[in-house]
Amino acid sequence: MQYSYQFTKKQRLLKAQEYRFVFEQACRSSDQYFTVLARVNLKNGTRLGLAIAKKRVKLAVDRSRIKRLIRESFRINQLLLSDLDCVVLANKQVNQVNNHILLQSLKNHWLTLLRRCKKS
């Protein structure tokens, strides 16, 4: 079976109620760069929501860079995260490091959430 590594609209959390679903009973993973919340969803497929606050990352170009990195990491690791809804929040120090460190941080979050959410 050929798998596509695209990031389509079906893989996004779009509505407030979808975000609320994750926030209600979330498995959490945090470090100095990101807080990632996840919950096993009732639908087939993995979905991603982003919450990169202007309060945490002041410049729009930096917020865009961080969002691109998160989407890229999610897109590459989506097979690993089967049937999870994830919301990524940025912490203050996220803007002070390079892309490689952020991608490694996200990879660690995906692995941690996979273990935590599949247990419950």
Instruction: Decide if 2 is inside a domain.
Output: no
pLDDT at 1: 43
Residue 82: closest CA among 52, 112, 116, 40: 40
Instruction: Decide if 21 is inside a domain.
Output: yes
From residue 7, how far is each of 13, 50, 75, 89, 98 by CA, in Å?
12, 13, 6, 19, 23
Instruction: Decide if 61 is inside a domain.
Output: yes
Instruction: Decide if 54 is inside a domain.
Output: yes
pLDDT at 71: 95
Instruction: Decide if 4 is inside a domain.
Output: no
pLDDT at 117: 87
Number of domains composing the chain: 1
Range of the domain at 29: 9-119
Instruction: Decide if 3 is inside a domain.
Output: no
Q: What is the pLDDT of residues 31-49, one digit of tens each?
A: 999 999 999 987 778 999 9
Q: What is the pLDDT of residues 84-120, one digit of tens each?
A: 999 999 998 999 999 999 999 999 999 999 998 876 5
Residue 84, domain CATH: 3.30.230.10
